Amino acid sequence: MLISAFDAVLSDLDGVVYAGPDAISGAPEALGRLAGVGVELAYITNNASRSPDVVARHIRQLGAPASAGNVFGSADAGADLLAERIPAKSKVLVVGSAYLRDCVVARGLALAESADESPAAVIQGFDPEVNWRDLAEAAHAVNGGAIWVATNTDMTIPRARGIAPGNGSLVQAVSTATGTTPVVAGKPEPRLFQIAAEQLEASRPLVIGDRLDTDILGGNRAGFATAVVLTGVDDAASVLGAPADQRPRYLLATLADLFSDYPVVRATGKQIVCGSARAAVVDGIISVTGERGDLDAWRAACCAWWYANPRTAERTTPEINFSS
């Protein structure tokens, strides 16, 4: 089975374990099986609105194993970045959750309530209560010379009702008003993945996520194996067109696939073969012998396209034809 090649799983949360308050079908059960095969587990989240204690409690309520010690979030990472860049007791304008404010205070920094206090820094993290006035204060402070840190820049976030704007969308509003970009603490930077692997003493971790531009890019930057699971933001078509640095090693339908053998993908002549599916790129068009609903067909198509375009820096939208 696939998971036997690894000693730890570094799993995203939104879109992998849950969407909003509810579990992704089968995810808690799959995560619960990891300990039985000797695989450690950590959660890597860009959501800066909740503390590790609250996140771990939510995960346990859904039926998956979790403790605060194995939740690694962007709020703490962002506060650490601030503490490295500004003197102790400096004032910081926090645009985000109460927990993010607690993280800032815990690093020996002071809270500013508005840009009028000339804060040394602004830290911005996701919170559903953030409003226009908060974004305006952040813009005023950044325009006044404050250092700007974003916990993460996810443009969207999976919620129970579907995909909603994420922290990156709000960061973009401030960026438009200031003409600047923030230092980013969370994914896709490799820091959270590296810290988690060190604490688990893992030498062969597998990063699992639903987003190419954060989870997979971050895991690749950390030098770890990556797997995208199709239960959240990205689908098989977007994986196919991913830039080279966002391409995962594995394409999974659900977390249950960790406990199955991953199909061998091999080259046969000018074709890529995966299971009963075959794919080839001819004149820039991907021809697949296989069903559109068969994940092996997409695995073959991805490998064929990626072999033909090994260093593509931009997202592509190749034409693809399926035939039985």
Separation of alpha carbons 106 and 307, rounded Å = 48
Please state, in angstroms and rounded to a whole number, the distance separating the CA atoms of residues 49 and 152: 11
Q: How far apart are CA 5 and CA 288, in angstroms?
A: 29
Structure tokens at 196: 């988690």
With both helix axes pointing from N to C terminus, report the angle between 132-143 and 167-178 in degrees, rounded to the nearest 10: 40
Task: Return the structure tokens found at 4.
Answer: 């036997």
User: Between the CA of residue 313 and those of 23, 155, 194, 207, 243, what are the distances in Å?
Assistant: 34, 19, 24, 22, 5
Tell me whether residue 80 is one of the annotated catalytic residues: no
Cis, peptide link before residue 28, omega less than 30° from 0: no
Q: Are 171 and 153 in contact (CB under 8 A)?
A: yes
12 labelled catalytic? yes
Q: Which of 7, 14, 102, 245 is catalytic?
A: 14
How far apart CA 124 and CA 35 sit, in angstroms, is 36
Cα–Cα distance measured from residue 171 to residue 77, given in angstroms and rounded to the nearest whole number: 17
Three-state DSSP at 132 gives helix
Q: Which of 12, 210, 257, 296 is catalytic?
A: 12
Residue type, 32: G
Residues acting as catalytic residues: 12, 14
